[in-house]
Structure 1
Amino acid sequence: MKSRKNLLIFISFIAFISLGLPDGLLGIAWPFISEAIDIRLEKLGLILMAFVAGYLSASLSNSKISNIISLGWLLAGSCMLTGVSLWAFTWAGGLPFLLIAAYFLGAGGGAIDTSLNIFASANFSPSVVNWLHAFYGIGATSGPLILTYLFTQGDSWTMGYFIVGGIQIGLGIVFLSTIKLWKNQATESPDPKAGSFRESIQQPMAFLSILVFFLYTGFEIGVGQWLYTILTQSRGIAEDTGGLWVSTYWGSLTLGRIFFGFVLRKSSTSKVLSLGTIGIVLGSMMLYWDVNANLSYASVALIGLSCAPIFPSMIALASTLFEPKFAPTLISFQISAAMVGGALLPASSGFLAEYFGLEIISFSFAIQAVLLALAYAVIYRFKKRNALTD
């Protein structure tokens, strides 16, 4: 039984690699995509909004989907869908087709993300949840590295999308080959007697925890998507150097989740979350001030490292912050809010940049970081006042 669970954890790690790969691609590929189909850079916000619409449609209907198909079939089908959607990006002849591809790419990712996070919160320790999300970072780090390498070899962004799309299809085949395992284990995942939407949303700190996911994911994705554009088109950094620092951002996030997975064996999730939010504020301020190139580069690594424990630790915190019967429903809300934030906040930065220039984006990162820290501080005080253990 233990060996089967370990295999299940391993396959879950693979699933999160598949989630991260597409997210790491778009930030670097977007300037080239926008040029290829002759649209403004600021239209990235529309692409992200289409992506999140697909994500929400899958994540909010997760309970209904789970009643129809097993988790194994869901993972397999979702990987196939994301693979085909990535290939569709290379066929896009205009913005409408690109928006459709982004929608289905989001739907595939949302189905994987919501199901596995609910399962992980109920079945895995905070350390394992952090390591699980570290594999998302491996995928997100690999995406920019793949594109940067292809650029140095004289290839285009389309080759990168074909490669990553093929990897997604391959992962889908892996999940197809383990359908029986997932079918056997799926019934051990979250308690089916979950609280209703109305009861869950009325729990103390429910709205604030959802806000944290909205702010955090908007910040994390915003940095990942806009950093390359800020560095290369606003601050005059060479394209290959800009790509390297985007990979550094995702890489430090990945290594940080591995590191904090060990830290959480000795420390509480509340303390780790407090440290992470403070680091995000400091790093975003450093990036905005842009005193010199070295300080900006250091801020990129600090932001990635500080972001590392936030999302997985907040997922793990749900099992102690809320009653078990409410946690699955609230996690679905949290992940949905995360994707809304992941679309709206980077999109709003793009709209602001259209009128005030690209550097307004780094200022918006600093504001988001401060709001995130304040929201978590209230949750921390609530836990401390009510003596809730991690």
Structure 2
Amino acid sequence: MYSTLLAVIYVAFVSLGLPDALVGAGWPVMHADLGVPIAFAGIITMVIAGGTIVASLASERLTRRFGAGTVTAVSVGLTACALVGFSLSGSFWLLVLWAIPYGLGAGAVDAALNNYVALHYAARHMNWLHSFWGVGAAISPFIMSYALTSGMGWDGAYRTVGIIQAVITVGLIVSLPLWRKVHAVAPVHTDDEHDGGATGDATTGDGADRPAPSTGHVPLATALRIPGVALILVAFFAYCGLEGTAILWASTFLVADRGVEVATAAAFASLFLLGITGGRFLAGFFADRIGDVQLIRGGFAALGLGVALIALPLETDVLALAGLVIAGLGCAPIYPAIIHSTPVNFGRRNSQAIIGIQMAAAYTGSTLAPPLFGVISACAGAWTFPYFLAVLVVLGLVMSERLNRLVARRGRGGELSPSTSGATRS
């Protein structure tokens, strides 16, 4: 049963990534068909991001009420309906309307699954699962490309992915008894584990998908007052802002500032994403031995090296291109490790609420940072790209290291209580 549930969760993570690249891949055709300016893509992505933020903040209450399995199944079903709605939309404003359930479904399932895996599975699974998100995100552009070249149209691509999501939803509904039968007993974290030890896997029992009655709802205001939460939110905002900016603007920087051929720039910009996906797969093999703290620290260090190579004002472009690949590899372990370390840093009782807020911070960063750099680039030039990334690297690393020192001073593995002056343990 344990292995079967794990396979179901892997498929659910693929479903998380499947819709993510559809808007970007199809928009050059979609905006012309719908008769709207190309810039209107930002309206759709902002509505989707708004929905994900709202759903992430509400995920703690929903998951405690209904369980992670039910929230996951309903959320994927909601995204399936939204994608089918996209395929039936003949106007831009219908797309905006369907973007609301799209965002709500994506945000709820992201927060629920991430917390479930952080609580019940080893660090290697968190990295591999997020690698599977990358698999889903990489597949959808190919679906869009096939739909456009085969005459199905962009609506055919959305319909195809919507049907895939509907099939996954059926599988998740069928698997609901497994979530209730497989009881994942979280490991006891020792001092060594926080710095570099392994976490255990699930064992079987009863009632895993039903929240323990002794743990009540953690309000948003209460979670935000827990010492260290603000630090990790800023770190997560910085990391996701960096990732989103690199994905959107790397190719433009290479062409506009370095004079790289368009095809070469596009290929290496895509290698940034492949570096994230492949890096997470590789990180899974040693994540348990290294530990979350070292994964985050090493990831930011590799990111800094990659950004430095991109910034070097040399005649050759080889180092800048290599820097993009190294930056992608550096990004790979940061997101999974931040999520996986949440129950250790802030306590199991608080983890769902804090992971929900972290998801909101992540979506806020990836939504705001890319257009912010767009404004800076328009005013000062594309050459500012690596320096903008460098600021986010430093901000993320400083905040995460401050959290590490805070946790080290207070001991590890217990429940942190909200406090406005100093820290207490419950």
Measured against the shorter chain, the TM-score band is 0.7 to 0.9
Equivalent in 342, 348, 364 of residue 324 of structure 1: 348
Distance 1:88 1:111, change over 3 A: same
- State whether structure 2 residue 5 is matched by structure 1 residue 5: no
Residue in structure 1 matched with residue 57 of structure 2 by the alignment: 60
Equivalent in 334, 342, 359 of residue 335 of structure 1: 359
Gaps of 5+ in 2: 184-206, 415-426
Deviation, structure 1 residue 191: 4.4
The range that moved more, 77-86 or 7-16, is 77-86
Partner amino acid, structure 2, of 1:163 = T
- State whether structure 2 residue 133 is matched by structure 1 residue 113: no
The range that moved more, 350-359 or 173-182, is 350-359
The range that moved more, 149-158 or 123-132, is 149-158
Residue in structure 1 matched with residue 22 of structure 2 by the alignment: 25
Distance 1:129 1:191, change over 3 A: farther
- State whether structure 2 residue 149 is matched by structure 1 residue 125: no
Partner amino acid, structure 2, of 1:16 = F
Q: Deviations over 1:112-156 (max 9, x none)?
A: 111111111111112221222111121122233444566677875
- State whether structure 2 residue 307 is matched by structure 1 residue 275: no
Residue in structure 2 matched with residue 375 of structure 1 by the alignment: 399
Distance 1:21 1:225, change over 3 A: farther
- State whether structure 2 residue 167 is matched by structure 1 residue 175: no
- State whether structure 2 residue 208 is matched by structure 1 residue 188: yes
Between the two proteins, the alignment pairs up a number of residues equal to 386
Q: Deviations over 1:166-219 (max 9, x none)?
A: 221221121122232234458425545154434432222111011112122222
Residue in structure 2 matched with residue 212 of structure 1 by the alignment: 235
Does the CA contact (< 8 Å) of 2:237 and 2:362 recur in 1?
Answer: yes
The CA distance in 2 between the partners of 1:253 and 1:58, in whole Å, is: 25
The CA distance in 2 between the partners of 1:35 and 1:115, in whole Å, is: 37
Equivalent in 37, 46, 71 of residue 74 of structure 1: 71
Does the CA contact (< 8 Å) of 1:117 and 1:315 recur in 2?
Answer: yes
Aligned pairs (5 A) from 1:230-379: 237-238=261-262, 244-287=267-310, 292-353=316-377, 355=379, 363-379=387-403
Distance 1:221 1:184, change over 3 A: farther
Deviation, structure 1 residue 84: 3.2
Gaps of 5+ in 1: none
Question: What's the C-alpha RMSD, in Å, of the aligned pairs?
Answer: 3.2
Deviation, structure 1 residue 313: 0.6
Does the CA contact (< 8 Å) of 1:320 and 1:388 recur in 2?
Answer: yes
The CA distance in 2 between the partners of 1:18 and 1:223, in whole Å, is: 23
The CA distance in 2 between the partners of 1:259 and 1:253, in whole Å, is: 10
Partner amino acid, structure 1, of 2:173 = L
Does the CA contact (< 8 Å) of 1:145 and 1:247 recur in 2?
Answer: no
Deviation, structure 1 residue 306: 0.9
Does the CA contact (< 8 Å) of 1:118 and 1:331 recur in 2?
Answer: yes
Does the CA contact (< 8 Å) of 2:276 and 2:330 recur in 1?
Answer: yes
Deviation, structure 1 residue 157: 4.5
Deviation, structure 1 residue 246: 4.8
TM-score normalised over the length of structure 2: 0.78
* Bigger helix fraction: 1
TM-score normalised over the length of structure 1: 0.85
The range that moved more, 153-162 or 132-141, is 153-162
Partner amino acid, structure 2, of 1:315 = I
Does the CA contact (< 8 Å) of 1:42 and 1:350 recur in 2?
Answer: no
Q: The residue matched to 1:61 in structure 2 has which SS?
A: helix
Structure of greater relative contact order (alpha carbons < 8 Å, 6+ residues apart): 1
Task: Indicate the structure (1 or 2) with the bigger Cα radius of gyration.
Answer: 2
